[in-house]
Amino acid sequence: MILDNINSSQDLRALSQEELPALAGEVRQEIINVVSKTGGHLASSLGVVDLTIALHYAFDTPKDRIVWDVGHQAYAHKILTGRRSQFPTLRQHGGMSGFPKREESSSDHFDVGHASTSISAALGIAAARDIKHENFRVIAVIGDGSISAGLAFEGMNQAGHLRKNLVVILNDNEMSISPNVGALSSYLSRLMTGNLYTKFRQETKQFLQGIPRVGEAMFNIAKRTEDSIKGLMVPGMLFEDLGFQYVGPIDGHNIEHLLQTFSNIKDFTWPVLIHVITKKGKGCEFAECNPSQYHGTPPFDLATGKVSKKTAVLSYTDVFGQTMIKLAAENEKVVAISAAMPEGTGLDKFSEQFPDRFFDVGIAESHGITFACGLATEGLHPVAAIYSTFTQRAYDQIVHDLCLQNLPVTLALDRAGLVGEDGPTHHGVFDIAYLRHVPNMVLMAPKDENELQHMIKTAVEHPGPTAVRYPRGTGYAVPMDQELKLLEIGKAELLRDGTDVAIIAIGNMVYPAGEAAKRLAGDGISASVVNARFVKPLDKEMVLQVAKRTGRVVTVEEHALMGGFGSTVLECLDAAGMAGVKSLRIGLPDAYIEHGTQSQLRKKYGLDTEGIYASVKDFVMQSRLKAVTPVVSLKAKDA
Ligand SMILES: Cc1ncc(C[n+]2csc(CCOP(=O)(O)OP(=O)(O)O)c2C)c(N)n1
């Protein structure tokens, strides 16, 4: 295999150009083999194998910097830059990250996982290069989905102004996760067909000029007509107007063609955008036919692509999607918004049933929230279903547009908590902290999938901003109520009464906390268990009541401890003059959490039944000891 001799991009450049297509085939096979076992971003990575090889062959990498957007397509880049032997550990706990990571390789120049950062980052790198009088190329590779975001346009806007030596490769496969949406997407399609038109024009010219006598005259008439509409015909005018030289569109699977193009622009010292057309899933039949399904896939059968059977237990996402359909049927004010993830958020069926009440805003979370606010000012109730981690992008819109105007918009924060193999860029462990201090916000988290449907109903009926956070994965297969209920806002649920300690848990930590309490009972520790339901407004009455009864409070959350649910409870105790109550907060440390399965990470961070049990037991024992110690020392003093 050619690949056996490639341990760096320098090795790749030692190959002859003729060997490159065969190398591409080997890299594709390697990606398919490994991802069939580990799961991962298959279709996007397969789509850019030829492009990746051409980039490393044409440019002097890693001195020349390739900056990947999102980074989910960088598997070929990883394999070709000395990480082939680690590639089978892709996305495994302790193994290779699914995304570029500077600490993983000197060929990775910017950590990434969220979309649309590459142009800004690459421009920053280029500006630093110039300040330091260094000499290297910077190449941002961005997809047609990701380039539609405001952030990417902000980057292009400044790049065009600064006129920095910067290459942007627009990897256009007409797909985001689902088919790409929006006016820019239509524009790019027109560029592609425009190129065909150009080809057609050239052929027509040859044909007309070939006709004796009249041909030349006919050609001149045709040319005059064409010149009069020339302004409309300049390909890539949008990018040209932003200060980029537009090159393309070119076939992103033709390595020779790619190399020729890269060689043509090598001496350009201004911003260039190369429009490359690729096919998502290229070289793998089932991924080509169904690129959305194989965008991010669990392990699959190599021959058929079949994923092992999905469990029959409903996921939180399924329940959310079904509930939205029910709610929309009974309440015509309900509309739904997704930011390029209708399937991921469970809104795909809603979009089919209520096409006029569904909006896919593209990868534009901040716009999506302000757009929702506009809808709400006219009396509708938008539900914006965006993963917890991507809602981070919309913080100012939540503060300034949503909560300040106290508008009836619901944030459905899917994938809240530890998301697993995608790792630190994707864990949704900051939302309580970034939402709970914003005035007017009602923030809740269900203990199970049945409670989720009632919370969505409650949120949609509430006349102000609401957010519901729920985890990735399946629920507990609990019976589902047929009728949707309104929950009392700010009311917690006492699940178990006890006298030694009160465990107040939020969201998916309620069940493990309940299990832990059962085990503690076996050790003679009597624990109350509270399903908090609401982070805000917190059920202060309940908190104070259980705190008074037990004198010991433990909070449990799958969220960063700093500014999280436990902090809310401590603030409540403090405000009531009960800061002296013994307390323990169980949650995530002030650190980015690595990748791994959800269960591995919960175990490591003490967020499973075993971990909660051990922490609470230790806490109660320690505090009992401390309670005993002063008595002992007093006695000693008396003596
Ligand atoms: C801010 C943000 N929103 C949403 C996502 C989820 N996401 C990951 S890849 C992707 C589609 C990217 O499409 P494109 O840039 O065209 O790349 P392709 O996968 O088609 O190669 C989306 C929406 C994300 N990573 N970051």
Say what percent of the chain tops pLDDT 90: 86
CB 347 within 8 A of CB 336: yes
Query: Does ligand 1 come within 6 angstroms of the Cβ of 70?
Result: yes
Q: How far is the CA of 511 from the centre of ligand 1 (A)?
A: 33
Assess whether 174 carries a catalytic annotation: no
Say how far apart CA 117 and CA 67 lie, in whole Å. 9
Q: What per-residue confidence (pLDDT) applies to 210?
A: 60
Nearest CA to ligand 1 atom 22: 177
Q: Which helix (DSSP H) or strand (DSSP E) does residue 555 occupy? A: strand 552-560
The DSSP-derived string for 421-441 is TTGGGT-B-SHHHHHTTSTT-
Between 639 and 569, residue with greater pLDDT = 569
Query: Does ligand 1 come within 6 angstroms of the Cβ of 152?
Result: no
Query: Does ligand 1 come within 6 angstroms of the Cβ of 386?
Result: no
Q: How far is the CA of 436 from the centre of ligand 1 (A)?
A: 28
Q: What per-residue confidence (pLDDT) applies to 206?
A: 59
Q: How far is CA 452 from CA 315, 317, 482, in A?
A: 11, 10, 13
Compute the Cα dihedral for 374, 375, 378, 383 and give only its sign.
negative
Angular region, 94: left φ>0, alpha ψ -120 to 50, beta rest: left
Of the listed ranges 194-203, 262-271, 303-312, 423-432, the one predicted with least confidence: 194-203
The 10 Å Cβ neighbour count of residue 88 is: 14
Q: Extract the tokens encoding 421.
A: 């193999």
Q: How far is CA 329 from CA 334, 343, 384, in A?
A: 9, 20, 17
Q: How many residues does the chain have?
A: 639
Of the listed ranges 65-74, 168-177, 314-323, 394-403, the one predicted with least confidence: 168-177
For the segment 226-250, the average pLDDT, to the nearest whole number, is 75
Closest alpha carbon to 413 in 471, 341, 350, 343: 471
Which of 42, 70, 366 for a ligand 1 pocket mutation test, highest count of atoms within 8 Å of Cβ?
A: 70
Cα atoms in the 13 Å half-sphere on the side-chain side of 607: 25
pLDDT at 628 over 70: no
Say what percent of the chain tops pLDDT 70: 92
Q: What per-residue confidence (pLDDT) applies to 576?
A: 97
For the segment 56-84, the average pLDDT, to the nearest whole number, is 98
Q: How far is the CA of 150 from the centre of ligand 1 (A)?
A: 14
Given 393, 436, 457, 585, the catalytic residue: 393
Say how far apart CA 490 and CA 442 lie, in whole Å. 8
Q: How far is CA 239 from CA 161, 169, 206, in A?
A: 12, 12, 30
- 3-class state of residue 99 by DSSP: coil
pLDDT at 228 over 50: no
Q: What per-residue confidence (pLDDT) applies to 230?
A: 42
Q: Which helix (DSSP H) or strand (DSSP E) does residue 68 occupy? A: strand 65-68
pLDDT at 213 over 90: no
User: In the block, which residue shows the tokens 């067909």?
Assistant: 193
- The string of pLDDT tens digits covering residues 521-564 is 999 999 999 999 999 999 999 999 999 999 999 999 999 999 99
Q: Which residues contact 638 (CB under 8 A, 6 or more apart)?
A: none
* Start-to-end CA span in the chain (Å): 84
- The string of pLDDT tens digits covering residues 440-488 is 999 999 999 999 999 999 999 999 999 999 999 999 999 999 999 999 9
Say how far apart CA 45 and CA 26 lie, in whole Å. 14
Q: Please report which confidence band the pLDDT of residue 634 belongs to, taking 50, 70 and 90 as the band edges.
A: very low
CB 159 within 8 A of CB 119: yes
Where helices occur in 270-347 by DSSP H, the ranges are 285-289, 316-330
pLDDT at 232 over 50: no
Q: Please report which confidence band the pLDDT of residue 220 belongs to, taking 50, 70 and 90 as the band edges.
A: low
pLDDT at 348 over 70: yes
As a dihedral over the C-alpha atoms of residue 527, residue 533, residue 536, residue 539, rounded to 10 degrees, the angle is -50
For the segment 305-330, the average pLDDT, to the nearest whole number, is 93
- The string of pLDDT tens digits covering residues 71-116 is 999 999 999 999 999 999 999 999 999 999 999 999 999 999 999 9
Q: What per-residue confidence (pLDDT) applies to 209?
A: 59
Assess whether 624 carries a catalytic annotation: no
Cα radius of gyration (the chain):
29
Q: What is the 3-state composition of the chain as percent helix, strand, coil, each rounded to the nearest 5?
A: 50, 15, 35
Q: What per-residue confidence (pLDDT) applies to 407?
A: 98
**Angle at CA of residue 592, ends 589 and 598, nearest 5°:** 85
Q: What per-residue confidence (pLDDT) applies to 214?
A: 59
**Mean pLDDT across the chain:** 93
Cis preceding-peptide flag for 299 (omega within 30 of 0): no
Assess whether 280 carries a catalytic annotation: yes
For the segment 336-358, the average pLDDT, to the nearest whole number, is 97
Q: What per-residue confidence (pLDDT) applies to 639?
A: 35
- The string of pLDDT tens digits covering residues 484-517 is 999 999 999 999 999 999 999 999 999 999 999 9
Between 210 and 203, residue with greater pLDDT = 210
Q: Please report which confidence band the pLDDT of residue 335 belongs to, taking 50, 70 and 90 as the band edges.
A: very high
Q: What per-residue confidence (pLDDT) applies to 229?
A: 45
Q: What per-residue confidence (pLDDT) applies to 629?
A: 58
Q: How far is CA 441 from the centre of its chain?
A: 23
pLDDT at 233 over 60: no
Say how far apart CA 440 and CA 567 lie, in whole Å. 19
The DSSP-derived string for 597-630 is -HHHHHHHTT-SHHHHHHHHHHHHHHHHHHHHHH
For the segment 142-147, the average pLDDT, to the nearest whole number, is 96
Can you tell me which atom of ligand 1 is nearest the CA of 143?
15
CB 258 within 8 A of CB 232: no
The 10 Å Cβ neighbour count of residue 331 is: 12
- 3-class state of residue 177 by DSSP: coil
- The string of pLDDT tens digits covering residues 248-278 is 899 999 999 999 999 999 899 999 999 999 9
